[in-house]
Structure 1
Amino acid sequence: MKKLYGVIGDPIGHSMSPDMHNDSFSALQIDAHYQPFHIKSEDLKTAVAGMKAIGLSGFNVTVPHKTAIMPLLDEIDPLAQAIGAVNTVVREENRFIGYNTDGEGFVRGLNEEYGSSVLDKKIAIIGAGGAARAIYYTLSQQGSIRVDIANRTPEKAEELKNRCPYPVETVLLSLEELEKQLGHYDILIQTTSIGMSPKVSETPISVANIRPDAFVSDIIYNPAETMIMKEAKKQGARVQNGLKMFVYQGALAFEKWTGVLPDPKRMQKIVEDKLGGTSC
C-alpha cells in the first residue's frame, strides 16, 4: 500500500517540498506520495488527529505551525524541544514524534560549501528569531565553539543565549558593533528576512570591514543573491545562499521517514529548476 507523507502550513501553495520529495520517492523506487495540506491555525488540533487516523506516515511542518504543533505530538526530540519548534514529524507505530532538521540542514550545507569543519572558526549570527535559534543551538550541540550574536533587539539575543542548553562561548553585539568588528570573524550567518522581497535592496549591516577570506551565508534563497551577499563578494568574500539549508532539512526529514538519505544534488536541481535559475 502506498505510504502518504505531506507538509502542513498556511499558506502552503508556494511550497517546493512536494516536487522535491515526490521526485526522490520516484528515483529511489519508494511507493509513497507527498501531499501539501493547507491547515489553518484554528484547525491544527483536528488536522493532527485526522492525519494520525488516516495513517499518515510522516509530515513536514511550516509556518505558522512549527511551535503550535508541539503540544499535539506524542514526543519531542530534545533538540527540537530546545529550539522550541518542530519542522518534521515521524510516525512510529501510532505515535507522532517531532524533530527539527532546520539547524542540522543548515550546518550540513555550511560545512559542504565551506569545505571544512567550522567548529574552530569564529562565527557571528545576525538575528535572534526562530531560524537563528535552530542554527545557534545546532552549532552549539556540535561541540566546543564560539558563536557571537548581533540583533536589533538586545533582549531577544540575550534570551537566545541564556536558553541555549549546550556549552557555547557567545558575546552579544549590537549591529553597529558587529559592523566595526566584522574583520574578526571567519563566518557570518545572516538569518533575518532583510534581503527578501520587497526588501531586496536592503542589508542588515554594512560589510565594508569584512575580511576577503571570510565566508557569508544568508539563509534566504529567493532571490538567489541578496544584497549582503553582493556586497560581501565585492570585498572578496565567499558567499552562500539558503538553498542548501532548505534541501538538507528536507533530505534529513526524508531520511527520518524512510531510513534512506536521498540525493541532495538531485533535490537541489529540482528546486533550482522551479525557481528558474541556479544558486550561488
Structure 2
Amino acid sequence: MKVSGNTQIFGIIGCPIEHSKSPVMHNAAFEALGLPAVYVPFSVRPEDLGKATLALRALNISGVNVTVPHKGAVIEFLDELDPIAKQIGAVNTIVLRNRKLYGYNTDGPGFMLSLRKDAHFEPLGKKAVVLGAGGAAAAVAMTLAGAGLRRLVIANRDKRRAEVLSKRVQKFFDREALAVGLDEVRALYWLIRESDLLVNATSVGLNPKDRLNLNPNSFHPKLLVFDVVSQETALVKAARKKGLKAIDGVGMLVSQGARSFEIFTGKRAPFRVMKTAVEQAIKYHR
C-alpha cells in the first residue's frame, strides 16, 4: 500500500477499538479496486468525541465508521443525517463532503441482509427479543419493526434505556414493543420461550470470557439466535450446543461495511474480498 499526498484517509472511531476488523476489511477493498486510500483505527474516549469528530473536517479525513460507544452521542456533532440514521437515532458512518459532516446508518440494512441471506429468516409476523439498547440495538430493533415484526422485546441492563428504545419503535411503527431489565430473569425466560428470534446487540462477547446471564433452558428448538459480535461468542456456542441455528456477526459486519464502502467511494464494494479478509483476520487471531 503506497501512501502519498493524494491518499484519502478513512478510519473508524471507538473505544475500545483494538478488536475491530474494519481496517482489514476496508484496506483489502481499497487494494482490490486499486484506490489511493487507507483506513486506520482511531481510539477515541467518550470525553474526546466532540473534538475528534470536528477534527475530521480540520484534517480533511474523507470518512469514518463509528463503533461502541459513540453511535448515538456523535449525532450532535454532525451537520446532516440521512433518513435511516435519523429514524434509528444512531450513526455508524460519517462522510466529509464540501466541509460538511454527513451521518448514515448501515447497521440496520447490514443486519437485515445477513438475517435474510445467512439465516434465511423473514421477520414478518414473528416475535423477537433484542438484548441491548445502544446504537447497534436501535438499528436492529427499528429495522425489525420496519420489516413487519409482530412483537419486539427490548431487554437491557438499564431498563430505562430499554423503555426509551421501545417508545422510539412505537413512535415510528404500529408494533407491540416491550421493555424488560436483564435482571428480570423469569420474565425474560418466558419472553424468549415465546419468541422466534433472539438477538444479542450488546458488546458482551467481544471478550471471550464475557457471558450473558440467560437461562439456556429458554432456548427452544425453533429459536434462531443472532449475535452481532463478529466471532463465535459464548451465546452462539451455547445455542449451537443445544442444536439451534445460531449466526455470528460476520455477515452483518461485512454487509454494513460494504454499504459504508459504497457511501465512502461511490463504487460497488468487492463483497467477497471484504468477507475473506474478515474471515482470515478472525482465524489468525483465534
Q: Give the TM-score normalised by the residue count of structure 1.
A: 0.84
- Is the CA contact 1:150–1:175 (under 8 Å) kept in the aligned structure 2? no
**Amino acid paired to 2:222:** D
Does residue 218 of structure 2 align to residue 212 of structure 1? no
**Alignment-derived partner of residue 149 in structure 1:** 154
- So what's the TM-score if we normalise by structure 2? 0.83
- Whether 1:221 and 2:233 are equivalent positions in the alignment is no
1:247 equivalent to 2:257? Answer no
Which residue is equivalent to 1:93?
A: 98
Alignment of 1:163-182 (within 5 A): 163-164=168-169, 165-167=171-173, 168-173=175-180, 174-182=184-192
Three-state SS of the structure 2 residue aligned to 1:220 is coil
When the two chains are superposed, the root-mean-square deviation of aligned CA atoms in Å is: 2.7
Alpha-carbon shift at residue 121 of structure 1 (Å): 2.3
Equivalent residues of 1:2, 1:31 under 8 A apart? yes
Task: Give the equivalent residue in structure 2 for 1:273.
Answer: 280
Distance 1:129 1:185 in 2: 21
One-letter amino acid of the structure 2 residue matched with residue 35 of structure 1 = V
Paired with 2:148 and 2:213, the residues of 1 have a C-alpha distance of 29
Offset at 1:75? 0.7
Q: What amino acid is aligned across from residue 196 of structure 2 in structure 1?
A: D
**Is the Cα–Cα contact under 8 Å of residues 139 and 145 in structure 1 kept in the other structure?**
no
Q: Is 1:182–1:207's contact at 8 Å kept on the other side of the alignment? A: no
- SS of structure 2 residue aligned to 1:60: strand
Whole-angstrom CA distance in 1 between matches of 2:46 and 2:131: 29
- Structure 2 residue 110 is the aligned partner of structure 1 residue 110: no
For 2:285 and 2:56, the matched residues in 1 are separated by 35
Q: Is the 8 A contact 1:151 1:175 kept in 2?
A: no
CA contact (8 A) 2:91 2:135 kept: no
Q: Mark the runs of 5 or more structure 1 residues left unpaired by the alignment.
A: none
Residue by residue over 1:133-158, the C-alpha shift from the partner in whole angstroms, topping out at 9 and shown as x without a partner, is: 22101222334643223344433322
Of the candidates 262, 269, 273, which is equivalent to residue 262 of structure 1? 269
Distance 2:61 2:277 in 1: 24
The CA distance in 1 between the partners of 2:46 and 2:139, in whole Å, is: 22
Q: Is the 8 A contact 1:194 1:204 kept in 2?
A: no
Q: 2:262·2:268 contact (CA, 8 Å) conserved in 1?
A: yes
**More off after superposition, 153-162 vs 15-24:** 153-162
Contiguous gaps of at least 5 residues in structure 2: 1-5
Deviation per CA, 1:209-228, whole angstroms, max 9, x where unpaired?
43323211122234x1x333
